Amino acid sequence: MTHMMYVGFGGAVGSMLRHAMATFVQRHDVAFPIGTFTVNVVGCLAIGFLSEHLEGSSLDPRVRSAILVGLLGGFTTFSTFSLDTLKLVESRDYYLAMLNIIGSVVTCVVAAGVGYRLAKWWISI
């Protein structure tokens, strides 16, 4: 099985887990997206722990990628964003860390808004 297939399989499992957990947590009708919030926090905790725990282990690199990139990437891309930012902070590149935080959050929220408006426009024509 190729490296990419390992990642793809992990991503499929992670996506299913994300849906299951978010649905379970968000089962009560509340305004705050607690399901997504919980998934992001759990995913960030998991990628922080596993990236360090698996570093230098004898685990097959394809399996490591299936877990970190596939499973956790499918579970929440916020975990990857957080790990990338943490690595910038650890390398004392605070400017790039802040640029990544502010740029990613602001740009992604704006992009989601543009996509949302574009879809509304598309439906109306």
Lowest mean pLDDT among 15-19, 30-34, 95-99, 116-120: 30-34
CA distance 75 to 14: 4
Residues 6+ apart with CB under 8 A from 50: 67, 68, 72
Answer whether residue 77 shows pLDDT above 80.
no
C-alpha distances in angstroms, 93 versus 44, 81, 90, 99, 101? 20, 15, 7, 10, 12
In the chain, where the domains are located = 3-92, 94-125
The mean pLDDT value of the chain amounts to: 90
Summarize pLDDT for 84-104 with one digit per residue, the tens. 899 999 999 999 999 999 988
Tokens of 77: 């891309």
Name the residue among 20, 3, 19, 82 with its Cα closest to residue 46: 82
